[in-house]
Amino acid sequence: MFSQINEALKSAGAGWSNIVQFTTYLVHSQHIPKFMQWRLREFPRMFPDGKYPPNTLLIIDRLVQEQFLVEVQAVAAL
């Protein structure tokens, strides 16, 4: 998922530093610790200057298809 965001950024001549906001939607609250572990591991790589964009985390009933468990919306300033 984040690799797709990275590809979209690259195609626009941008990078992670252009991200100004994330909204993350999780279907199951028990996935919060796993997401937070991922974030602790990956955000320092994505944002080496330590300036992380805000990330609103929402727990929702479901996404459009049952098998989808997480969705991320990214807003970039180009």
Residue with tokens 């955000």: 43
Can you read off the two tokens belonging to residue 47? 């944002």
Please give the model's pTM, rounded to 2 decimal places. 0.90
**pLDDT by residue (tens digit) across 28-73?**
999 999 999 999 999 999 999 999 999 999 999 999 999 999 999 9
Distances (CA, A) of 63 to 26, 41, 53, 58: 9, 26, 24, 12
Closest by CA to 75, choosing from 22, 16, 12, 9, is: 22
